[in-house]
């Protein structure tokens, strides 16, 4: 099933593939497995793909570009706000990125020149001459420059026919709300702030709906706890406290009492808000793709939604 991505003229599937994992997020992924993951997503009908220069320090873009190069009728998004510098000794965080080039260092740059350079570098890695959606990536500490320099440069790229839609992606709803109120975005990508456990992004979704801005919801498992709630599970990339674990276990109990895996409820929950066009799930293997596709297709009774409202 495809839906309109707001006013962009683009159509997206309700499930999108986040491409950070195939760049080596938390664990190395071979080139063959990366390609199989994208291929399997395509076979399961996924037509929204999201990458960024930061993901694997360019490796995600290179791999996804190769996998999608000869395919049409899909939406590909990437991001600006970091440029990849090469030096003798980079600053790879081994707890975050595995298998990446250690001589590459991502540097925040929301200047007009930095945006142009980042975009042109992305085109080379992707093997494309244009991109469907470009997001301002994590502008939290650079909001003034993002508004004054980065956004106007993205408008110029759109005017040149190199970009169809302009967006912003962040983990913080207040950052996205700040941008929606000040510039004319087509779409926002919000991670982790509208989930079964964290609904702090509701105000941003309402604002987006009022402004005609489409929303892509990412981080629907809050980094793991809603996929497999248990002691030691992670919430927003840190160990979840006992209260969060107990809340997640209670949600799992309610879902399973209605014959539904918690993962299905977690994936589908954001789609219940009218502003949300698609959910984005980061996956690293064909088996994970199959599971996510099965979860998005699971029938969920209204009684379950009422029980967790």
Does residue 219 carry a pLDDT above 60?
A: yes
Q: Is 194 a catalytic site residue?
A: no
Confidence check: pLDDT of 309 > 90:
no
Answer yes or no: is 231 within a domain.
yes
Residue of 55, 57, 178, 194 marked active site: 55
Please check whether residue 6 lies inside any domain of the structure.
no
Residue 84 included in any domain: yes
Active-site residue (options: 50, 109, 132, 291): 50
Q: How many domains does the chain have?
A: 1
Q: How high is the pLDDT of residue 7? A: 95
Query: Which residue carries 């699971």 as its tokens?
Result: 298
Please say if 252 is a catalytic residue: no
Is 193 inside any structural domain? yes
CATH number at residue 108: 3.20.20.100
Examine the residue annotation and report whether 237 is marked as an active-site residue of this protein. Answer: no
Mind listing the pLDDT tens digit for each residue in 296-305? 999 999 999 9
Gyration radius (Cα) of the chain, Å:
19
256 within some domain: yes
Has this prediction a pTM greater than 0.95? yes
Q: For residue range 42-95, what is the model confidence (pLDDT) as tens digits? A: 999 999 999 999 999 999 999 999 999 999 999 999 999 999 998 765 567 777
Look at residue 110 in the predicted model and tell me its pLDDT: 98
Residue 252 belongs to a domain: yes
Q: Name which of 273, 307, 302, 282 is nearest 227 in CA terms.
A: 282
- Kindly name the residue from 57, 79, 132, 252 that is annotated as catalytic: 79
Supply the range of the domain harboring residue 173. Answer: 16-307
Measure the CA–CA gap between 141 and 136, rounded to whole angstroms. Answer: 12
């Amino acid at each position: 099933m495809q839906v309109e991505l707001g006013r962009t003229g683009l159509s997206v599937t309700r499930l999108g593939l986040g491409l950070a994992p195939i760049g080596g997020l938390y664990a190395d992924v071979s080139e063959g497995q990366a390609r199989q993951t994208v291929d399997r997503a395509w076979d399961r009908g996924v037509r929204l793909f999201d990458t960024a220069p930061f993901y694997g320090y360019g490796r995600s873009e290179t791999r996804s570009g190769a996998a999608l190069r000869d395919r049409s009728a899909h939406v590909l998004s990437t991001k600006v706000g970091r440029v990849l510098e090469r030096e003798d000794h980079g600053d790879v965080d081994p707890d975050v990125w595995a298998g990446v080039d250690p001589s590459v260092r991502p540097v925040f740059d929301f200047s007009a020149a930095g945006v142009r350079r980042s975009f042109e570098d992305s085109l080379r890695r992707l093997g494309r001459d244009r991109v469907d959606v470009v997001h301002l990536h994590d502008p939290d500490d650079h909001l003034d420059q993002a508004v004054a320099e980065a956004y106007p440069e993205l408008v110029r790229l759109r005017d040149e026919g190199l970009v169809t839609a302009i967006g912003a992606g962040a983990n913080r709803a207040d950052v996205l709300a700040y941008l929606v109120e000040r510039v004319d975005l087509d779409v926002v990508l919000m991670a982790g702030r509208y989930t079964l456990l964290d609904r702090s992004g509701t105000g941003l979704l309402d604002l987006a709906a009022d402004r005609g801005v489409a929303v892509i919801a990412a981080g629907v498992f809050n980094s793991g706890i809603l996929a497999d709630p248990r002691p030691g599970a992670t919430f927003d990339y840190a160990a979840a406290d006992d209260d969060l674990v107990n809340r997640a276990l209670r949600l799992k109990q309610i879902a399973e009492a209605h014959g539904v895996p918690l993962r299905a409820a977690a994936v589908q929950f954001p789609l219940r808000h009218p502003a949300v066009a698609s959910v984005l799930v980061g996956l690293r293997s064909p088996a994970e793709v199959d599971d996510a596709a099965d979860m998005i297709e699971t029938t969920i009774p209204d009684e379950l939604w009422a029980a967790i409202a």
